[in-house]
Amino acid sequence: MILFSKQNSTYELDEYDSTIDYLLKQRSKKFDIYCFDPIYTNKYTLHMVDLTDKISNEHMELYSHGDAKKLCYSNNMWVGLPLFQKYSILYSNKNLLKKYDRRVPKTWEELLDTGKYILEKERANNNTEIIAYNGFFSDLNEFATLYEVVYSYRNTPDTKFPGFGSKEAIEGVKMVKHVKEEISSDDIFRADEAFNTITLLNGNGLFIRFWDTNIPLSQTYYITPMPGKKEGINASIIGGLNVGISKYSSVEKREAALKVIEYFTSEKVQKEIVIKQVGLYTGISKLYDDEEVCQVISCSMVKEAQSIHRAMEHINNIDQYSNRVNKIFNHFMFGKVTAEEVMKEIDDITRIYHISLDTNQSKIIFIIFILLTSLMLIIFTYIPLHKEIKKFYSFFTTDLWIMYCLGYIIIILSEFLQYGKLSKTICLLRYSSILIGISLEMIPIIYVLLISFPENNKYSIYLINHKYTFLGCLLGFEIILNILIFLNPFTIMTKIFQNTIDNKNFSYCVMKSFFGNMMIFIDVLLKVIMLPVILLLIFIEWNAEEIVEDIRTITINIYSNSICYVMLIVLEYLPINVLYVNFSLHSMFIMFSCLSNYVFIHSFKIMMSRNPEKFYYPNRTTINPSNNSIKPENNNSTTTSNNLNSKNIITKILDYHSTPYSTITSTVVTNPS
């Protein structure tokens, strides 16, 4: 069994982490036990053994209460156990507070007021060495201090971390900068650990923010958590050193490693060695009720502390992230950039944006889709009931018309799913609604075209007699494909940018399952096959007398829809890094598809209803596929049909295309010439 720790590796924290990261990603068996900073717990979760069922329940119960779980528990597993814990502390000078009859500050306002008062008094007595407040914004600790400040400004003790972009965060950092300007300085706030350690030891500090230390300071300072926005709220960053077992360790070595971890994290070792000999804090909360322990460390501070662990989502490299945050924050703390600008930029590093109604652009698109949906619903309900207009919609029977309109309505409604936070269910619904909507739009068209074929044949006759069987099979196949897609959920991926000023992070849907991708491919392929079939039938039936104007408007609509759907597919694979550009393009193609349907078909029909004589066709009759008695053939047409059968397929198609015929008899009408 081999232990990997700082003592047998590189010293710098980020280098130490990168070494562990490299070894674990390589599935190295060189080390069995790893000691690591708790800020990397989430990162190492996939590579560590879950200790939940590997160590006795009695032992795990020691760490199930208090702060240990915050440091070691991730993704529903115990990644490790704490060898020791660290706390950020406010050291308040006992002598100075007693001298001026002031208490340990409970709020930031009180810290400023007390610090300002004592600083003025001491300087009046020629004490120029006093440091009222150190800030502790050194390069190594700045991120932790900033995190703690934001947490200290939450509104209630039970409130979670409010976020860097919150009003609480802006209020908190403004207060700390005000404290710096009133009772401290840039140089003191930026001072390193050595300067702060010396200040603690020589007693020149009034209020010093620092980590807990094994140097006995309880005689000189009150040891408490950092103050909060108001009384009853405080803050303390917790850290320490976790110990975990590599998942890639052999079974034999793993058993030995478990015994080692149980020994070092046992109650006896934690009390006698970690606390009494080394002077560090433990993850076993019950020990803070032990009188012997409380003589060595500040049990009251731990019990009082409202602690928080720096756990960051969507961050792969927390060292790079914290350095970036520090660099941005310095523009406010030591520069002239406003708190609002700086905190928004910091918040944008990890914030995942989604489409909302917060921008004028998204509001306009939302309103347009509401109007489109309303328009489609009006068309859907009004036309079948209006006698004067209904007769110009002979291409579809009422049931097919309902199916056709329903397809467009579902496609429009799919765009409303673009709004709000993404989830696996939303991803499935977005894809399925578009795929099903397109099918509902295309199936009625292909059915009418098949039964309107120029010649009688067994297929068209079968479709006339088995209309709902045909529709049910195609729709059933579509539904089955979508159910199979539902069984293979999408993965939510996140696009993270380094430059969050020009680009905003966002989530998107990805189907990682091979089977799921195959189902989507088959579904799309089905529609790709249907498209040329529709276009071929349109070409053949170009001169069908009863539907001649429908053929032409549907042709335009099919081409416009095809362009839109192709562009939607292309959009899925284009590396567009701007969320609202992607959203706007997607919405534009959907809107164009729906509006073209209205403009090219419905507006034309309304014109016909107002000027029927201009669009009058003497043979116009509503197609009734259920009526088989209207299929007689005269001798002349039979002769023509036999002549056509003797020609090759291309010639027959061209003849169908150029020869007028009636869909009532489904026979070609021979030109007198």
Q: What is the pLDDT of residue 8?
A: 46
Calpha distance 126→339 (Å, rounded): 35
Residue 406 resides in a domain = yes
Q: What is the pLDDT of residue 139?
A: 92
Q: What is the pLDDT of residue 17?
A: 80
Secondary structure element (H or E) that encloses residue 236, with its range: strand 234-245
| Range(s) of the domain holding residue 494 | 360-624
For 247-267, the pLDDT digits (tens) are 999 888 999 999 999 999 999
Calculate the alpha carbon distances from 514 to 517, 555, 568, 623 in Å: 5, 36, 21, 44
Residue 178 resides in a domain = no
The candidate with the shortest Cα–Cα distance to 656, out of 457, 489, 473, is 457
Kindly state the average pLDDT of the residues 422-448: 91
Most confident of 370-384, 409-423, 466-480, 530-544: 466-480
Strand partners, 228: 107
Are the C-beta atoms of 407 and 478 separated by less than 8 Å? no
Most confident of 167-171, 404-408, 561-565, 597-601: 167-171
Residue 434 resides in a domain = yes
- Domain holding 508: CATH number? 1.20.1070.10
Residue 535 resides in a domain = yes
Average pLDDT, the chain: 85
Residue 80 or residue 657, greater confidence: 80
CB neighbour list of residue 68: distance below 8 Å, 6 or more residues apart: 81, 82, 85, 283, 284, 285
Q: What is the pLDDT of residue 634?
A: 41
Residue 243 resides in a domain = no
- Of all residues in the chain, the percent with pLDDT exceeding 90 is 50
Are the C-beta atoms of 605 and 597 separated by less than 8 Å? no
Question: Per mean pLDDT, which range of 223-227, 303-307, 423-427 is the poorest?
Answer: 423-427
Count of CB atoms within 10 A of residue 648's CB? 8
Interior CA angle at 386 toward 381 and 391, to 5°?
115
Q: What is the pLDDT of residue 420?
A: 86
Count of CB atoms within 10 A of residue 148's CB? 24
**CA distance between the termini of the chain:** 99
Q: What is the pLDDT of residue 561?
A: 84
Q: How many domains does the chain have?
A: 1
Q: What is the pLDDT of residue 371?
A: 81
Query: For residue 99, is pLDDT > 90?
Result: yes
Q: What is the pLDDT of residue 86?
A: 96
Residue with tokens 């940018």: 497
Kindly state the average pLDDT of the residues 639-655: 64
Residue 312 resides in a domain = no
Residue 482 resides in a domain = yes
Residue 8 resides in a domain = no
